[in-house]
Structure 1
Amino acid sequence: MTGQTSQFTRFMLTDGGLETDLLYNRGIDLPCFASVVLLRTPAGRAALEAYYRPYLDLARELGAGFILESATWRASPDWAAPLGLDLAELDRLNVAAIDVIRRLRAEYADDVPEIVLSGCIGPRGDGYVPGELMDVAEATAYHAHQARVLASAGVDMISALTMTNVNEAIGIARAAQAVGVPVVISFTVETDGRLPTGDTLMDAVLAVDAATEASVSYFMINCAHPDHFAALLGQQAPWTQRILGIRANASRCSHEELNAMTELDDGDPTELGQLYRALLETQPQITVLGGCCGTDLRHVTAVARACLSPA
């Protein structure tokens, strides 16, 4: 919805930390942390379906909607060579990822009140550090390729997750706008609540809206613990009303600490659920609930029960 926040009429659940769950909890190897490679084999596709189904079951149980996020976070053109693929094969895997979630939507269509197919786009580089920044024109041109592929596969929207900088977020928003698909921008913040570039979350949201004529459907925060950003959402302000989704980390560790870990820090699911509920007390417009690094079905279940249950 151009020019204003698109508000879901019900709570929408989504999944947890897909890559950390598959890698650490299920022992599935993900080269370059890219889950899209699983689409190369029937066994990999089955593993993805087995990952998604319990979340859809949870949505069915609680009467919530669900956003099915495709396994394409690390599947933009620069990742083809490190994954041993050519660009045409990577494009086919992007389409296959949407085919998987489309089949799941059909399977659960009669049981879950609303299911949205979201094509996931990640940063061109690292999800924790901005690296060498692109200007807006370069970011738009780079992400236009994956946006076109996802749009042609029939997604309902595009979600840009773990955005570390404003220029890339604007670029993805413009690329999605060019192919006529609604877009969601999700920023990651450090332990001080700022983007890795040092920008405040408020400034980032306002900058993207200003550069895109507020074409972004809504904003999210992901890949950070609630303790890292709760203070920013302690009171209502016009810019906070643009934030409709939270996909928090289970761990309170910094991104630098998480990068150095060899074991998963899965935090406390029950506590995480209560922290989400506290966020909703000051930001009741938040209706999209899921997890990021270190979270799995336990965490999203705790979050959903805490937030969807009557006070």
Structure 2
Amino acid sequence: MTKYRYDLPQRRGGLFLTDGGMETTLIFHHGIELPHFAAFVLLDSEAGRRQLKQYYESYLAIARDHGTGFVLDSPTWRANPDWGAKLGYDAAALRSINIRAIEFLNELRANWERPNMNCVVSGAIGPRGDGYKAGNMDASEAEAYHAAQIGAFAEAGADMVTAYTLTGISEAIGIARAAKAQGIPVVISFTVETDARLVKGETLREAIEAVDRETQNAPEYFLINCAHPTHFERALEAGEAWVKRIHGVRANASAKSHRELDESEVLDCGDPSDLGRRYADLRRAFPGMRILGGCCGTDHRHAAAICEACVAPRALSA
């Protein structure tokens, strides 16, 4: 049953941690095979659920120890029709796995949430295509395409949905409209190239303003993910209305381009301490950025470094 859908605590203030690069961590650090980069398949076995639980709990412990809230994103980035079909999941199987993903997170929340540690359950949505390439859907097609997954999250009791690694404005608009139609809060997270632009060349400003304009400001807020801070930090302008709509970052560990990462056979974990310092710099310049986590190449070490750089010492001793 939903807990925060009508009053998301991260909108009221305070820092909220997320997990890091789930798929890269499970594959490169734990040796787990994830066909088509799909972590949701782990929910279909006892061993897989145990691996996911251990993964999430490594981050929840960091949030607990640093006195932050936590946004629990489901392992469902690939659980949409096109990717599901490649993995042998039809519409009914996808609906079931998306519902079970939220139930799994609700169980985790029941065990970990504390009065000073709000845990928000979010259904994670990925793009229809590849997270590094441009899609071709218009907004209406995207709304219809993503509606079933969003509906499953809403039915299962998710507090919100978050669409990650979106490379196109139209897909973002469609997702926002689909969530609005089903009465569940939605967050849109764009990924950018090394020049701080989307794959087709739009600026972050153009993307955010277009989504807000075409959806009557439907998203609760926006995030940036799957890009290193050096790729986008200079494109942000303090005091600009569109920048105030960005409430968090889930950056890559590596400063390499998406093409370089896609072609690499080894994981570039970057420098956790440097990433933490960059997050602290972003927080000082843009205090509204309060949802902090990681994407490709990041793990619990990066999350800890982010907390150590961004959480006031007095919070640690509270």
Partner of 2:185: 182
**Where do 1:87-126 residues align within 5 Å?**
87-110=91-114, 113-126=117-130
Amino acid at match of 1:259: D
Query: Separation in 2 of the partners of 1:64 and 1:172?
Result: 28
Q: Following TM superposition, by how much is the alpha carbon of 1:85 offset from its aligned partner in structure 2, in angstroms?
A: 2.0
Query: Separation in 1 of the partners of 2:57 and 2:202?
Result: 37
1:56-109 alpha-carbon deviations (Å, 9 max, x no partner): 111111111000000001101111221122221122111111111100000012
Partner of 1:46: 50
Do 1:233 and 1:282's aligned partners in 2 also have CA atoms closer than 8 Å?
Answer: no
Q: Following TM superposition, by how much is the alpha carbon of 1:310 offset from its aligned partner in structure 2, in angstroms?
A: 5.0
Query: Separation in 2 of the partners of 1:90 and 1:7?
Result: 30
1:158-214 alpha-carbon deviations (Å, 9 max, x no partner): 000001010000000001111100000000000000011210000000000001111
Partner of 1:172: 175
Answering whether residue 208 of structure 2 is matched by residue 235 of structure 1, we say no
Query: Separation in 2 of the partners of 1:246 and 1:8?
Result: 18
Do 2:78 and 2:84's aligned partners in 1 also have CA atoms closer than 8 Å?
Answer: no
Q: Following TM superposition, by how much is the alpha carbon of 1:33 offset from its aligned partner in structure 2, in angstroms?
A: 0.2
Q: 1:22 to 1:79 in 2, by over 3 A?
A: same
Partner of 1:202: 205
Amino acid at match of 2:197: R
Partner of 1:266: 269
Query: Separation in 2 of the partners of 1:151 and 1:197?
Result: 32
Q: Following TM superposition, by how much is the alpha carbon of 1:112 offset from its aligned partner in structure 2, in angstroms?
A: 5.1
Answering whether residue 307 of structure 2 is matched by residue 295 of structure 1, we say no
Secondary structure of residue in 1 paired with 2:188: strand
Do 1:7 and 1:285's aligned partners in 2 also have CA atoms closer than 8 Å?
Answer: no
Do 1:265 and 1:294's aligned partners in 2 also have CA atoms closer than 8 Å?
Answer: yes
TM-score w.r.t. structure 1 length?
0.96
Partner of 1:309: 312
What is the aligned counterpart of 1:14 among 18, 34, 37?
Answer: 18
**Where do 1:139-154 residues align within 5 Å?**
139-154=142-157
What is the aligned counterpart of 2:62 among 35, 49, 58?
Answer: 58
Stretches of structure 2 that go unaligned for 5 or more consecutive residues are none
Once structures 1 and 2 are overlaid, which stretch shifts more, 83-92 or 145-154? 83-92
What is the aligned counterpart of 2:286 among 258, 283, 303?
Answer: 283
Amino acid at match of 1:230: E
Instruction: Tell me the percent identity.
Output: 52
- How many residue pairs get aligned? The number is 307
**Where do 1:20-31 residues align within 5 Å?**
20-31=24-35
Amino acid at match of 1:73: W
What is the aligned counterpart of 1:244 among 240, 247, 256?
Answer: 247
Do 2:137 and 2:171's aligned partners in 1 also have CA atoms closer than 8 Å?
Answer: yes
Secondary structure of residue in 1 paired with 2:12: coil
Secondary structure of residue in 2 paired with 1:159: strand
Amino acid at match of 1:297: H
Do 1:11 and 1:65's aligned partners in 2 also have CA atoms closer than 8 Å?
Answer: yes
Answering whether residue 23 of structure 2 is matched by residue 34 of structure 1, we say no
Amino acid at match of 2:215: T
Do 1:8 and 1:287's aligned partners in 2 also have CA atoms closer than 8 Å?
Answer: no
Secondary structure of residue in 2 paired with 1:130: coil
Deviating 4+ runs (over 3 angstroms): none
Partner of 1:71: 75
Stretches of structure 1 that go unaligned for 5 or more consecutive residues are none
Amino acid at match of 1:277: A
